[in-house]
Amino acid sequence: MMRDQKLTYGRVTQVLHGVIALMIIVMLISGYTFDFLPKSTFKISLKDFHKSLGLTILCLMLIRVGWRIWNPWPALPVHLPKWQHYAARSVHLILYGLGIIFPASGWIMSVAAQHTPIWFGWVTMNLPIEPSKALASAAYTTHVWLGWLCLGCLSLHITAALKEGFGPKAILWRIWPHASLKKVPLSQQQNTL
């Protein structure tokens, strides 16, 4: 089952979700540790890795957005209040936007500051922008604030999924690879948004 179904997410969505989630966690941890590290070759290597991972997330998120356009979301369970349906979709859309804008702001910051990323040491990832301290500073501020927004939205997303628990009707199983598909009967589902 590659495509998303009425009751559950397909394999492509599950893999993209899992891989991007792990990458974002690594990105947030590495990004917030820079200020605490002394200048060293390790810090430089960590920043290079951070930039390469960010560019990878950007590419994967563009693929994920295309996949989402082609595959509508599975219906949310009808036992959830309507406001939770809207909250879930809103947070999903914000996370999709952040998955593109957050790494793009870091890319712009790096190029404007004349620290053009070299994707995992292979390909120079330049942009058609002139070096600019003002642009680099604005992109840095944007990148930091988007990081905090991403952390907040991820916290909401994870908390909401865990709040539903791990029972047979839990929303969490819909995104989990190899989970049983005998969770919520179609009669208890509805298409929203």
Instruction: Summarize pLDDT for 115-139 with one digit per residue, the tens.
Output: 999 999 999 999 999 999 999 999 9
Averaged pLDDT score across all residues of the chain: 88
Rounded CA separation 23/66 (Å) = 19
pTM, two decimal places: 0.86
All structural domains of the chain, each given as residue ranges with its CATH number in brackets, are 11-178 (1.20.950)
Beta strands (DSSP E) in 66-171 are 76-77, 118-119, 123-124
| 71-118: pLDDT as tens digits | 888 888 787 889 988 998 999 999 999 999 999 999 999 999 999 999
Residue 184 clears pLDDT 60, i.e. is over it: no
List beta partners, residue 80. Answer: none
Environment class of residue 105 by beta-carbon count within 10 Å: exposed (0-12), middle (13-18) or buried (19+)? Answer: buried
Q: For residues 50-80, b (16+ Cβ closer than 10 Å) or e, as one string? A: bbbbbbbbbebbeebeebbeebebbbbbeeb
More confident residue, 192 or 166: 166
Place of tokens 């589902």: 189
Query: Taking the CA atoms of the chain, what radius of gyration do you get in angstroms?
Result: 19
In this structure, are residues 51 and 106 in contact, taking their beta carbons and an 8 Å threshold?
Answer: yes
Rounded CA separation 137/145 (Å) = 12
Position 169, amino acid: K
What pLDDT does residue 172 have? Answer: 76
For 115, the token pair is 């620290």
More confident residue, 162 or 114: 114
| 20-54: pLDDT as tens digits | 999 999 999 999 998 899 999 999 999 999 999 99
What pLDDT does residue 179 have? Answer: 59
Position 133, amino acid: K
Residue 154 clears pLDDT 60, i.e. is over it: yes
Q: What is the rounded average pLDDT of the residues 56-80?
A: 90
